[in-house]
Chains A and B, each alone.
Chain A
């Protein structure tokens, strides 16, 4: 799975969770851009990504994600067995 696939998958998750088909993710998208993106939805996004990409996140990694770019990178790192 390459970066583009991860972006597409993540975008589906965001559109589903925030119930908004207009959302387009870029590397710089952060919680500041989506007002509904609070700590509850953050957990929902993380867990939905776990199911979709077949990876597992640690609670301590939650706070380290500053934007979508970081998130995609972490998913890719996990998929590559890092």
Chain B
């Protein structure tokens, strides 16, 4: 079931909420949890009932392996559990890709029928691997079956995150407060959900046209001009943000309705002034998972070896090639390679990941080299920040061309146009106003009508750039209210210029003005979803 579908909004959520709180009201907390598990499984099965068995099997398998691990702490059992999870993920996600490349390399012709990727498999696999590792480490505290099943299947986060950690979710299923309906939670939750729905159906779906037409044309082998290629790539960069952060907002808002705080997944990523900062703001729960379960273990074990051997270690503000390469560059590249592979089977995703690994290494090297030199004065830092933001944004736009393109050659075709290697063209849309000046144009400048570019698109992109750079994000907006409630989950450190200028709007609270605004966002979005067939979220492919 999609969050942006009529059946989800009109009866699934109301029925689930009512049932959950009714059971809670009768003090049947365990039944309320079980009911939420059942509804979540129903939510999953709505898409394709065949894959329900896979989800249930995965939950049962990991729950029992987890219990055994708490008892026996066996390295082999852990390896078996992790390998089984990765094996299932690998079968559904990568077998066609691997087979295709084996055929290509050895000139064989193995075939297999296409397998449909089970929704959310990348997400629930990661969450459960973390659970197994922590059971082995002896740091898991909660072992109730229904709580575990809900931790994996809770429908707001089942399909595309946020990737939650058992230690932040499981305790909430024990808290008696969770089972009591709370007006605050409902109003905050509905607001966040409405913002997310608006981001998805009004913004992301609308601008997807601008990216799709350019990427499709490039894939079909058409020559794309400089202006068109940038227009398409920037449109996709904005589309992906509004799609995925809209989805995350909806998930977090739904969590609030049930009194469950899900972790923040986006914190205005395009306001980042460096790539390191970008990954602290973009898909935060994935960064967190990769850091805790891949990057940190590698760095720790390498540091142990180097320390035992008396070799130099990484020190802040000093650039020594040996430790930099061994303890930072290689672990970063490897971690981002995994991030790339996790996103999908295809060389373009591997390039996307490794490219970000390279960006991160350059960023760290720059920091290390600058290191001990005098820090910038506050005024200079303020001036430098926009430059950092723009460079970071361009780097991200370029990387997302790989992310969006169907294959590496298609991505390269787009990038060569973006690099200005195509024809030099003045859009006829504007060129026609040049009048007689047109006669004087040098021969290498062409005047041509651009098929994949229009003024409305430019208006949209400029407007949305202003939104992502200046406006506070969803958390910022409700942060004031949440901070008053001493809620640390939603508190964030950033606030845009706009936020400082217009305090009353910034400081969300349940009052008439915000009610009207939220109602407006919600009604526009609802009108859209009843008239148009719901479109899938981009992250359903991962």
Name A58's contact: one of B137, B299, B303, B313 (CB within 8 Å): B137
Is A44 touching B313 in the complex (CB atoms < 8 A)? Answer: yes
Report Cα–Cα, A58/B134, bound state, in Å.
9
Instruction: Chain B residues near A57: list those with CB within 8 A.
Output: 300
Is B299 touching A43 in the complex (CB atoms < 8 A)? Answer: yes
Is A47 touching B134 in the complex (CB atoms < 8 A)? Answer: no
Report Cα–Cα, A57/B293, bound state, in Å.
13
Is A58 touching B307 in the complex (CB atoms < 8 A)? Answer: no
Instruction: Chain B residues near A50: list those with CB within 8 A.
Output: 304
Is B307 touching A61 in the complex (CB atoms < 8 A)? Answer: no
Chain B 122-161 per-residue mask, 1 if CB under 8 angstroms from chain A, else 0: 0000000000011001010000000000000000000000
Whether B450 sits at the interface, judged by CB under 8 Å, is no
Tell me the minimal C-beta distance from B224 to chain A in angstroms: 42
Interface residues on B, range: 20 to 34
Is B304 touching A47 in the complex (CB atoms < 8 A)? Answer: yes
Instruction: Chain A residues near B134: list those with CB within 8 A.
Output: 60
Whether A38 sits at the interface, judged by CB under 8 Å, is yes
Instruction: Chain B residues near A46: list those with CB within 8 A.
Output: 300
Tell me the minimal C-beta distance from A16 to chain B in angstroms: 11
Tell me the minimal C-beta distance from B490 to chain A in angstroms: 19
Tell me the minimal C-beta distance from B66 to chain A in angstroms: 14
Instruction: Chain A residues near B327: list those with CB within 8 A.
Output: 40
Tell me the minimal C-beta distance from B296 to chain A in angstroms: 4
Report Cα–Cα, A52/B233, bound state, in Å.
53
Most buried by A among B134, B296, B313, B317: B296
Name A40's contact: one of B139, B307, B316 (CB within 8 Å): B316
Interface residues of A in 55-81 (CB under 8 A from B): 57-63
Is A59 touching B297 in the complex (CB atoms < 8 A)? Answer: yes
Whether A51 sits at the interface, judged by CB under 8 Å, is yes
A-B contact pairs, 22 of them (CB 8 A): A36-B317, A38-B316, A40-B313, A40-B314, A40-B315, A40-B316, A40-B328, A47-B300, A51-B307, A51-B308, A57-B300, A58-B139, A59-B292, A59-B293, A59-B300, A60-B133, A60-B134, A60-B139, A60-B293, A61-B137, A62-B296, A62-B300
Which A positions have Cβ atoms within 8 angstroms of B? 36, 38, 40-41, 43-44, 46-48, 50-51, 57-63
Which B positions have Cβ atoms within 8 angstroms of A? 133-134, 137, 139, 292-293, 296-297, 299-300, 303-304, 307-308, 313-317, 327-328
